[in-house]
């Protein structure tokens, strides 16, 4: 009996990786998916934090894709290991703080290592890369770089653009038929749409800014500000999670306010009460605010005025704001809310 | 939920971390074992069952009360 050929597919939750896995599954290969949690993933957290809009409950798209494909999906926590990728990217950053090429190399390498560790091992890796699809990481010149530096070498198969590349080991060994792979190239999504239709897929996720916060200009600005304020570029998971939540207002270099924008964010920030000084209007409905940094006594009064500006008492002459230290000590401040012109644009991170 | 089950407390964690922690715990359990996942992120109500479906584990019961979620999984 022939040995079952097995492949690990990188599943992001988007269309390309879904199609790539499907193309290989159609050839009788056993496929299992891996999905990496870096801490910067748009998937999951943000949607959980922000209040649900609309009737449709939020789903994890990578899991949803796995269900559509009928494959197992292994979600792997790489938060710690990913720090090196972000902080020391050999190939540099893209438009913002996105180390896309290093990230892809890292993920293919992790997928390869994961596959080797499984019982019986896996034979090759599948990605949904398409030459020319992304300006930094998905170019013809970067394809061999990813294969080489990830250690996957010719065990890395890109089913959607394989015809534009040299045959890989799975093709040469006959594990997959090259003439049933594709030669997609460029930024057009039309070939993917047509293939999706052919497979009967009618729905897929299309995150506007990709699946990573590091490609987002505003998020990258907040991360740069965090590093500047901390005096170093290291970070913990909570640091980068909090950058996804609320308005970030820095009235002075030594402290920053994180003001929730809605109920979901309020709930999320509640979980940090024992680690930060918090502010909340008690005379009027208003947001919860975390005070990050080393504020002085006068700073808390200013912060209370900022918080009052974002609550229902914004037009009231006086708002009472409760300030609670991380150790539970509590006091009340009666403050006049700042007016919008009194909050300089430069304070908004 | 009267049978003895292992308990995984992931309260305060946001998805996908509860899923990852459940996945890692289940990797060390034998078929037939029960795992109760205690969570607070409403996303777990979608994601843990979805993960169970793709891995073939049985979702025995879910309870959600006062912001606390308990999901019982039977390892297959």
- pLDDT (tens digit, 9 = 90+) per residue, A153-165? 999 999 999 999 9
- According to the model, what pLDDT value does residue A196 have? 97
B61 part of a folded domain: yes
CA A103 – CA A82 distance, rounded (Å):
8
Quote the domain boundaries for residue B35: 6-74
> If you average pLDDT over every residue of chain A, what do you get?
93
| Inter-chain residue contact A37 with B20, CB threshold 8 Å | yes
- According to the model, what pLDDT value does residue A45 have? 57
Give the tokens for residue A92: 């540099």
Closest of A130, A180, A123 to residue A153, by C-alpha: A123
Give the tokens for residue B3: 């049978």
| Inter-chain residue contact A75 with B19, CB threshold 8 Å | yes
- According to the model, what pLDDT value does residue A56 have? 63
The three-state secondary structure class of A303 is helix
CA B52 – CA B8 distance, rounded (Å):
15
- Min Cα separation A268/chain B (Å): 8
Lowest mean pLDDT among A96-100, A147-151, A265-269: A265-269
Distance separating the N- and C-terminal Cα atoms of chain A: 62
Residue A257 has pLDDT above 60, yes or no: yes
| Inter-chain residue contact A43 with B12, CB threshold 8 Å | no
- According to the model, what pLDDT value does residue A52 have? 54
Lowest mean pLDDT among A48-52, A326-330, B18-22: A48-52
Per-residue pLDDT averaged across A36-64, rounded?
74
Burial of A27 (C-beta count, 10 Å sphere; 0-12/13-18/19+):
middle
Burial of A296 (C-beta count, 10 Å sphere; 0-12/13-18/19+):
exposed
Per-residue pLDDT averaged across B34-55, rounded?
94
| Partners of residue A58 in chain B, C-beta under 8 Å | 43, 46
Contact indicator for B51, A86 with CB cutoff of 8 Å? no
- CATH numeric code, A6-213: 3.40.50.620
Contact indicator for A335, A321 with CB cutoff of 8 Å? yes
Q: Greater confidence, A187 or A7?
A: A7
B1 part of a folded domain: no
The three-state secondary structure class of A58 is coil
CATH of the domain at B12: 3.30.110.40
Residue B2 has pLDDT above 80, yes or no: no
Residue A47 has pLDDT above 70, yes or no: no
Q: Indicate the pairing of strand A330-335 with strand A247-252.
A: unpaired
Alpha helices by DSSP H, listed for A70-200, are: 79-87, 100-117, 142-150, 169-172, 190-199
What are the tens digits of pLDDT across the range A205-252? 876 557 889 999 999 999 999 999 999 999 999 999 999 999 999 999
Provide φ and ψ at A88, rounded to 5°: -135, 65
**What are the structural domain ranges in chain A?**
6-213, 245-347
The residues, any chain, with a CB within 8 Å of residue A171's CB and separated by 6 or more, are A157, A162, A177, A178, A181
- According to the model, what pLDDT value does residue A136 have? 72
| Partners of residue A32 in chain B, C-beta under 8 Å | none
Total of domains in chain B: 1
Which residue of chain B is at minimal alpha-carbon distance from A268? B12
Kindly provide the ipTM of the predicted complex, given to two decimals.
Answer: 0.95
Per-residue pLDDT averaged across A90-112, rounded?
96
B60 part of a folded domain: yes
- According to the model, what pLDDT value does residue A255 have? 97
Which percentage of chain A shows pLDDT scores above 70? 94
| Partners of residue B67 in chain A, C-beta under 8 Å | 267
B25 part of a folded domain: yes
Is there a catalytic annotation at residue B15? yes
Q: Indicate the pairing of strand A277-281 with strand A319-324.
A: antiparallel
Select which of B15, B29, B38, B60 is catalytic: B15
Residue A53 has pLDDT above 60, yes or no: no
């Amino acid at each position: 009996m022939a040995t079952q050929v097995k492949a690990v597919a990188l599943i992001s939750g988007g269309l390309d990786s879904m199609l790539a896995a499907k193309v290989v599954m159609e050839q009788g290969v056993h496929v299992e998916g891996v999905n990496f949690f870096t801490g910067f993933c748009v998937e999951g957290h943000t949607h959980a934090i922000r209040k649900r809009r609309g009737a449709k409950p939020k789903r994890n798209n990578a899991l949803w894709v796995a269900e559509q494909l009928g494959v197992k999906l292994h979600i792997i926590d790489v938060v710690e290991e990913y720090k090196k990728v972000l902080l020391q990217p050999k190939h540099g950053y893209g438009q913002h703080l996105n180390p896309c090429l290093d990230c892809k190399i890292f993920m293919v390498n992790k997928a390869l290592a994961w596959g080797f560790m499984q019982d019986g091992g896996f034979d090759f890796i599948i990605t949904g890369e398409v030459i020319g699809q992304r300006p930094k990481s998905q170019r013809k010149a970067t394809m061999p770089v990813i294969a080489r530096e990830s250690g996957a070498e010719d065990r890395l198969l890109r089913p959607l653009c394989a015809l534009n590349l040299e045959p890989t080991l799975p093709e040469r060994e006959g594990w997959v038929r090259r003439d049933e792979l594709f030669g997609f190239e460029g930024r057009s999504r039309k070939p993917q749409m047509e293939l999706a239709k052919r497979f009967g897929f009618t729905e897929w996720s299309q995150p506007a800014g990709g699946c990573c916060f590091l490609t987002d200009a505003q998020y990258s600005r907040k991360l740069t500000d965090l590093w500047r304020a901390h005096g170093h570029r290291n970070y913990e998971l909570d640091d980068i999670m909090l950058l996804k939540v609320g308005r970030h207002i820095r009235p002075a270099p030594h402290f920053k306010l994180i003001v929730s924008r809605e109920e979901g964010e309020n709930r999320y920030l509640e979980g940090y009460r024992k680690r930060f000084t918090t502010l909340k209007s008690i005379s009027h409905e208003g947001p919860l605010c975390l005070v990050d940094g080393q504020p002085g006594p006068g700073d808390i009064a200013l912060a209370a005025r900022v918080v009052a500006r974002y609550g229902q008492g914004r037009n009231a002459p006086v708002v009472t704001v409760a300030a609670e230290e991380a150790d539970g000590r509590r006091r009340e401040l009666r403050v006049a809310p700042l007016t919008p012109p009194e909050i300089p644009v430069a304070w908004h991170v | 939920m009267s049978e003895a089950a292992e308990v995984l407390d992931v309260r305060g964690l946001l998805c996908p971390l509860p899923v990852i922690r459940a996945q890692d715990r289940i990797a060390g359990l034998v078929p037939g074992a029960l795992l109760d996942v205690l969570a607070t992120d409403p996303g777990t109500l979608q994601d843990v069952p979805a993960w169970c479906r793709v891995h073939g584990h049985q979702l025995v019961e879910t309870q959600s009360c006062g912001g606390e979620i308990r999901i019982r999984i039977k390892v297959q």
